[in-house]
Amino acid sequence: MSQVSELNPITVMGGAAPARAAPARTAPARAEPTSARVHDFQGNRELRSEADRSAARPRFSWWRFAFGLVVIAVWIAAAMQSSAASITLSASGQPAAGGAWDVSLRYTASDIGSARLWLFVNGKRATPLEGSTGTYVARDFGSGSYNFIVKTQGAISAASPVVKLALGVVPPVVVSDKKRDAARLLMQGSFGPRSMDDINAVEAQGAAGWIDAQFAKPWSSHKLYIDRLKAAGEEEKEEHVFESYWQQLIWGDARLRARMALALSEIMVISNVAPDQKNDAMISWMDMLYRNAFGNYRTLLQEVTLHPAMGYYLNMLSNDKEDLATGRMPNENYAREVLQLFSVGLNELNADGTPKRDGVGKTIPTYDQSVVQGFAAAFTGWNFAGNDTSNKDSFDSPRENWTEFMRAWPSRHSTGAKKLINNAALPAGQTPERDLADALDAISNHPNVAPFLGKRLIQLLVTSNPSPAYVARVSAVWNNNGQGVRGDLRAVVRSILLDTEARSFAENSTSAGKVREPMVKFIHFVNAMQGRSKNGRNSIWWLDSPDDYLGQSPLLAPSVFNFYSPFFTRPGAIAQAGLVVPEMQLVTDTQIVGSANFFTRMINNHGVGFNETYAVNFDTAQWESLAATPDAFVDQLNWVWFAGTLSTQSRDIILRAMNKLPAADKHERMELAFKLAVIAPEFSVQR
């Protein structure tokens, strides 16, 4: 739309007023005594004598008096005519090419004489209008709110009422708080809603009812899945392990258990990124996490410690006692990581997760190198089950057993006294089993465990920056489930998901919520697209490449420190606010482009899979039927994809894109909406 601005003739934007031309030079007037110099009432000439002053006195003039009466009469007449003048205005907006808007205006003016009509937009004069009645189309408006008014310019003053238009601005959607809470719970306690029916069912159950129902859901063993494939004559391969993982994560009914097991796999990390883990070991490991997801932390800690997959990954498998003759010392790898990552962390914590400080304000280390050495010695003498543990030589070349917990060789266990955490100690001469039990008791009873691991679980399930009060409430449940039991993970998970910070939707908060991991978004996406296999299997396998897939897959972390650090932040406003964004450590230029391309390929192909025989196809018929009515389509998209948190801006973008395509092109509309949805910020951020 062309715009005409009113310019102030004595103002120059961005600079000083222009200098006036210098007057022509004349001969200087002779100076007179100051006492005789008097200025007239206009200040523009000097009177130098009484005669001059007398001549300058104003005289009554009849012709000036008559002229004044005429001016007053004209002014009164104009005012009377102006009071009778009126202008009406109506306006409507229509989408135009390139996402712009055109505004059609219709105006009618009466009793304005020869006055000119002008259109004003948001208080600025925009363009002259032809005639006293007509239509005018103003073009190329962006999205926003506008005020239109028509005014006269001339002897008669009149103006139309202000017409307000919101162009491309979609009114905020009225969202049911109860329904949104149900959808958000599915984001936190599973991998997101699968359908509107899913949300409605949780809304009817209530948060506590859904959580309790999930605790009771049966789950299917990964080993059983692999055993069925082998029974059908297939040779076990690594891709079958990942096939089993994805099968449970995407389609399993025990959804809270699956989410919790995945979270635990990112705290107590093993990885096959090398790849050198045995298939049986990885399958058994994941079954162990599923089994203990709602169990007791002390039991989980022991099973993690003695599992051969962990034994291999962090060198507790075949960890031998010291040998002074050769200088050999017990391997410290597992001892160090179980303390730093799986239990207490590096610094002493208050119950609310904030660090304790000494008298000069410094943090207090939880342990030192002597404690690591003590635990390393306590963990010596363990190797594969199924061997003769009374034969010390069998320790060096045991038969492999990747599915049973390790067994102890007393002859290869360090028998000296051992220093433990929090000033605890093990006496000399204990059995390897006794040393192990006492060492794990010392860890699990340490006051750091509740705030350290409680906060990690909150971060993985609900929000990256929980308040100290939130952490303290969860720590209290960790320390006592109400029946005097410590480390009850069922009670801990329940307290995390039912806490007021989890259930409250802080729409304008700058710290609530979390960035979603790529594999969590992927599981949600396949569910929301109603992904189904033709034969009950899948060929999703590895998605850890950032170039053309997710940049993340279960049990393929680059190190024991997981895919990202819980303390990671972004320089700038986030770091300055003292906030962390752990999952953002995965977000690189390569990952952003590769992941977007992967989601786009799935949308174009209507499915996913490395092998067409076992590919997963998407059933989008219900979505496509909605695409004829974009508002209804985006309403459902808001619930199933965004848990009722889609912003007005993102909604506007998707609606305008869909409306650019003919209503008959439902399939194209649907695909375009999906492609915009997967890159929308609300799909990447869990609120």
DSSP assignment of 281-337 equals: HHHHHHHHHHHHTTSBHHHHHHHHHH-HHHHHHTT-TT-PPPBTTTTB----HHHHH
Reported as a pLDDT band with limits 50, 70 and 90, residue 10 is very low
Closest CA to 244 of 257, 226, 258, 230: 226
pLDDT in the model for residue 62? 54
- Give me the sign of the Cα torsion angle 46, 50, 54, 58: positive
CB atoms within 10 A of CB 165: 18
User: pLDDT digit string (tens) for 60-103?
Assistant: 555 555 555 544 444 444 444 445 789 999 998 887 766 678 89
Q: Residues near 614 by Cβ (< 8 Å), separated by ≥ 6?
A: 243, 533, 534, 535, 537, 538, 539
The enclosing H or E element of 606 equals none
Residues near 154 by beta carbon (within 8 Å), at least 6 away in sequence: 112, 113, 114, 115, 116
Residue 587 has pLDDT above 80, yes or no: yes
Look up residue 140 and give its two tokens. 């190329």
State the Cα–Cα distance between residues 99 and 426, nearest whole angstrom: 73
Amino acid identity for residue 314 in this structure: L
The partner residues of 104 in beta bridges, in order of sequence, read 92, 137
Model pLDDT, residue 248: 96
- 290: CB partners within 8 A, 6+ apart: 219, 221, 222, 248, 254, 257, 258, 261
pLDDT confidence of 145, banded at 50, 70, 90?
confident
User: Which residues lie below 8 Å from residue 88, measured CB to CB, with a gap of 6+?
Assistant: 107, 108, 109, 160, 161
Sign of the Cα pseudo-torsion (568, 570, 575, 577, in order): negative
pTM of the model: 0.78
List the domain boundaries for the chain. 67-167, 245-503, 511-686
Distance CA 242, CA 550 (A): 14
Predicted local confidence at residue 55, as pLDDT: 44
At residue 507, the pLDDT reads 80
Rounded to 5 degrees, what angle do the CA atoms 603, 606, 608 make?
90
Over residues 165-213, the pLDDT tens digits come to 888 765 555 678 999 999 999 999 999 999 999 999 999 999 999 999 9
- Residues 6 or more apart whose Cβ sits within 8 Å of residue 144: 166, 167, 168, 169
Between CA 258 and CA 74 the distance in angstroms is 87
Nearest alpha carbon to residue 448 among 379, 532, 376, 363: 363
* Res 510: pLDDT: 86
How does the average pLDDT of the chain come out, rounded? 89
In this prediction, residue 517 carries a pLDDT of 97
Overall size of the chain counted in residues: 687
CATH code of 67-167, in short, is 2.60.40.10
Q: What are the tens digits of pLDDT across the range 622-639? A: 999 999 999 999 999 999
Look at the block and give the residue holding tokens 């390929």. 601
- pLDDT value, residue 508: 80
pLDDT in tens, 237-264: 999 999 999 999 999 999 999 999 999 9
